[in-house]
Chains A and B, each alone.
Chain A
Amino acid sequence: DVKVTQSSRYLVKRTGEKVFLECVQDMDHENMFWYRQDPGLGLRLIYFSYDVKMKEKGDIPEGYSVSREKKERFSLILESASTNQTSMYLCASRQLAGNNEQFFGPGTRLTVL
């Protein structure tokens, strides 16, 4: 079974802190994604990566950056956390092909105080 793991299930940070969210997948998938999920807004794509060292902005990249140095790991970075970044963050991976689904991690619920 494909497994996508995220470094923390719950995280509490203070405004202005630099925050790292880590995601690791074990199935050699080319594509990886970071979403945030907020009530009433569904999933919004922050960044995605087609392959190692590649990254593309999604719909809401402002205030975030990403890193993909190894194929299995995709990190989301909040350079200076703000209260409006309090959210559920979901990581996903996918084998490159149109008919393949995304596999999701369990999510990280981030609270910024």
Chain B
Amino acid sequence: AQSVTQLGSHVSVSEGALVLLRCNYSSSVPPYLFWYVQYPNQGLQLLLKYTSAATLVKGINGFEAEFKKSETSFHLTKPSAHMSDAAEYFCAVSDPGNQFYFGTGTSLTVIP
């Protein structure tokens, strides 16, 4: 079975600073990778997904993520944090057997 590890359950950044949220997965074959965002009292919304095309994937709201096979990582970044980015972020993996696995989430706080 796959596993997804999100390092840091809570991350705080200043407004305008770089956002870096980490995600590592365990897989012997290239998986499909996803980042979701969840605003308070809402469902999850897809930010971006990697499906074996370009390794650098651009998503909504200025976020992007880079697939690094050698590091089994799919970290999420945004060059400049905005107050509206404060939310919970989830990394997820889908394996060839169509099973879906979520990380435990990272809560992002943006400090004015």
Contacts and interface: CB of A to CB of B under 8 A. Distances in A.
Contacts of A105: 43
A109 B41 contact: yes
B98 A42 contact: no
User: Which of B9, B42, B95, B98 has the most chain A CB within a 10 Å cutoff?
Assistant: B98
Given A98-B95, A98-B96, A43 B41 contact: no
A90 interface: yes
Contacts of A98: 32, 94-98
A97 B44 contact: no
Contact of B32 (A31, A43, A99): A99
A106 B98 contact: no
B102 A107 contact: no
B80 interface: no
B90 A42 contact: yes
B96 A101 contact: no
Contacts of A103: 46
A53 to B, nearest CB: 18
A96 interface: yes
Interface in B62-112: 90, 92, 94-98, 100, 102-105
A90 B44 contact: yes
Nearest to A96: B98
A99 B94 contact: yes
A101 B105 CA distance: 17
Contacts of A96: 98
Interface of B: 9, 32, 34, 36, 41-46, 49, 51-52, 90, 92, 94-98, 100, 102-105
13 contacts: A4-B43, A90-B44, A94-B100, A99-B49, A99-B52, A100-B94, A101-B49, A102-B92, A102-B100, A103-B46, A104-B43, A104-B45, A109-B41
